[in-house]
Amino acid sequence: MSNSVLIAVDGSEGGARALQYASDRAKLGGAKLILTYVIEWSPYTFNTPEENAERHMRREQEIERATSSVVEPAAALLKEAGIEYETVVRHGPPAETLIELAEKHGVQQIVIGRRGQSGIKSLLFGSVAGNLVQTSPVPVVVVP
């Protein structure tokens, strides 16, 4: 396991607090942060070839938007603080994708805000943070 921490950001206040927490800890322990944003996406759709082409284009646009509006500003804060980091933007089921990335990067822990952008949906179906706490193979820090 490397001295790295996966930090999930989503542009919310909770994500900003999680980023602050992770960057403070990274400064103390010299950890590398894996700054991640997961765009919720289901592969279970049956489309025509034309619809698939449009869907692919939409995915690329979403990645560009997430990178420029959420990930790059967060990365700028880490760079300014002198913290080593890597950025990752992916499509997929959020908790599952974060766990896959944690395993791929061999992180020591995952840091996530208690409440993200999802609002009422998380109240009905459960939050990403709650899902991670239940299923993650590494410790999860949930920042209020």
pLDDT in tens, 24-35: 999 999 999 999
141-to-14, 20, 114 alpha-carbon distances in Å: 12, 13, 9
Q: What is the pLDDT of residues 68-120, one digit of tens each?
A: 999 999 999 999 999 999 999 999 899 999 999 999 999 999 999 987 555 54
CATH of region 4-143, choose from 3.40.50.620, 3.20.20.100, 1.10.110.30, 3.30.1300.10: 3.40.50.620
Domain edges within the chain: 4-143
